[in-house]
Structure 1
Amino acid sequence: MLSEGIEPTRHTYNIMFWGFFLSLRLDTANRFYEDMKTRGIAPDTVTYNTLINGYTRFKRMEEAEKLFVEMKAKNLAPTVISYTTMIKGYVVVEKVDDGLRLFEEIKSFGTQPNAPTYSTLLPGMCDAGKTNEAKTILKDMVERYIAPKDNSIFIKLLNSQCKSGDMKAASDVLKAMIRLSIPSEAGH
């Protein structure tokens, strides 16, 4: 492009970042991000979401958090995608409390969690043994009538509530499934 005299745009960089992260080329993505800034091309929400997603794929949450903070500092409102990506990253690195903090923050900024947000956070809460918090999040999900595409989270919720000895909470998971029109199976 450059040798033909065609200047890259923000869109060009966003596509390149996505490809670099998919092909696990973090250093190349970083180099092109610096190039983008050098050319005076300001990142937008898509740029930040792509970079944050890339860093979370590498389990580099400090860098992802820096980009998340930088995004907000530049008055670019994080979207539900931004928050869900950060939450997923924290769940993967077993920092569920940080994911929960962002889950609460998302609502304080007027952005509502969506099905992928719940599907990302709930299994992490179960794995971390945070069954009380999982109950609260499930209740919120049911009140908003948001049914996740991945129904396996209900098995995880049932297992964690049963292991904790809270059979009422396990029963509430089954009631949530009925309310959300999730078909129950013998395993449930």
Structure 2
Amino acid sequence: MDQNKALRPEWKLCLDMLDCAMKADNSELAYYALEFMAKWMIQDENMRPPRYLSVEEGLVVSLLATAGRTYSKKLLDAAWTILKRSLRKKRVANAETYLARIHAHASLGTDHLKKAFGALHEFESLYGGADKQAAEDLFSPFTALYPLVVACSHNGFATLDSVYFQLENLSKANPPYKSLAALNCIILGCANIWDVHRASETFTAISTTFGLTPDVNSYNGLICAYGKLNKRKEALELFEQLKSLGIKPNAMTYALLVDAHLVAKDPKSALSIIDEMVISGYTPTKAILKKVRRRCIREMDYESNDQVEDLAKKFGIRMGTETRRNLLFNLQYTADYVQER
């Protein structure tokens, strides 16, 4: 061997190692493959003339997902470092890559929440100026940022309060950091632990403490909290307030109002919300219609059930049957009856 060269696999073999490691969720093997690739990149950049090797961004997204599944901080940091070296400051990472990084940090537990919110801050600084609809989707706590919501509510109100006070302190720092997306995650986290009081206080603090304006995701988080605790009246009042301020409800808003009516065992009102949803240009999903149908059957509201079937036919949704669910329900009912007897 040439003593001046370290023994390491060729570049293509490193890619094969990464592929095998990700399929097997082997974070150690993936880390070693990245380490070999980093050495190749450094060596080739020091050549004359230099040669620049790069790792595809899609591969880094898969590596970040593997780091999240295997709870590997080492692989997460290595994947992000090699991505930055591949981009060479000529362009920024895609939004999907930042979301994968945030998800990976969130999966590592409450100890990594600070880094997750740090990644969110970087993400907001790059993509926060996107058009309104794109921003709603990118920073939605119900979809794109939901892993961060789960991490915030993992230990109940203790973690939620800790994150909130950190955000409050950062808003008073120099320069201040105020994140509406982070506050929306806290509101939905409060809804997940059925704490409508904390959700309402956080919603109010958006404007009073942080000086920000609530968006549709903020309203959706509080509507979710009200709906879970059967506070349908408050949820509807918030919905009317949202519309009076000129904020356009999105599909999630209508879905949450449908849930609020179903919790109150009122399928007729749920169907009226779906009608309003259709008028606004949104299509009800199969999941929404199936939830309404189940409530119609339990309340023996066959007229509303026929309306659900008509909606399914109108939008070409195949509803299927509830045979397995009904069988389990009947078995449980029979068991309870026998136990009472």
Superposition TM-score tier, normalisation by shorter sequence: 0.7 to 0.9
Task: Supply the distance in 2 between the matched residues of 1:81 and 1:51 (Cα, whole angstroms).
Answer: 11
User: Does residue 77 of structure 1 match 2:213?
Assistant: yes
CA–CA distance in structure 2, aligned partners of residues 125 and 162 of structure 1: 15
1:167 deviates by 3.0
Matched, 1:167 2:298: no
Aligned-pair distance for 1:97? 2.4
Determine the structure 2 residue equivalent to 1:152: 287
2: distance between equivalents of 1:75 and 1:177?
Answer: 44
Change (3 A) 1:127 1:140: same
Structural RMSD (CA): 3.0
- Which one of the candidate residues 177, 180, 183 is aligned to 2:315? 180
Q: Does the 8 Å CA contact 1:14/1:50 hold for their aligned counterparts?
A: no
Contact 1:145 1:180 in 2 (8 A): no
Distance (whole Å) between structure 2 residues aligned to residue 157 and residue 61 of structure 1: 24
**What residue identity is the alignment partner of 1:126?**
L
The one-letter code of the counterpart of 2:163 is A
Structure 2 unaligned blocks of 5 or more? 1-113, 122-147, 324-341
Name the SS of the counterpart of 1:181 in structure 2: coil
- Aligned equivalents of 2:311 and 2:248: distance in 1? 19
2:262 is matched with 126
- Aligned partner of residue 112 in structure 1, secondary structure: coil
Paired residues, number: 176
Larger Rg: 2
- Deviation string, structure 1 residues 36-93 (Cα, Å, up to 9, x no partner): 2442525242233123223223322222212222324566332221111111122222
Alpha-carbon distance in structure 2 between the residues aligned to 1:111 and 1:100: 15
State the shift of 1:163 in Å.
4.3
Residue type matched to 1:71 in 2?
I
Q: Which whole-Å CA distance do the structure 1 matches of 2:321 and 2:188 have between them?
A: 36
TM-score by length of 1: 0.74
Q: 1:88 aligns with which of 224, 228, 242?
A: 224
- Asked if 1:36 is matched to 2:170, the reply is yes
Amino acid at match of 1:12: G
Contact 2:227–2:257 (CA under 8 A) maintained in structure 1: yes
Distance 1:83 1:178, change over 3 A: farther
Aligned to 1:4: none
Q: Percent same amino acid among aligned pairs?
A: 23
CA contact (8 A) 2:164 2:183 kept: no
Paired amino acid for 1:107: K
Contact 2:227 2:263 survives alignment (8 Å): no
Cα deviation for residue 121 of structure 1 reads: 2.5
The one of 88, 93, 118 aligned to 1:12: 118
Partners in 1 of 2:302 and 2:236 — Cα distance? Answer: 24
Q: What is the aligned counterpart of 1:53 among 178, 185, 188?
A: 188
Contact 1:142 1:179 in 2 (8 A): no
Identify the range of structure 1 (110-119 vs 71-80) with the bigger mean alpha-carbon deviation. Answer: 71-80
Matched, 1:115 2:251: yes
Q: Give the equivalent residue in structure 1 for 2:152.
A: 21
2:110 alignment partner in structure 1:
none
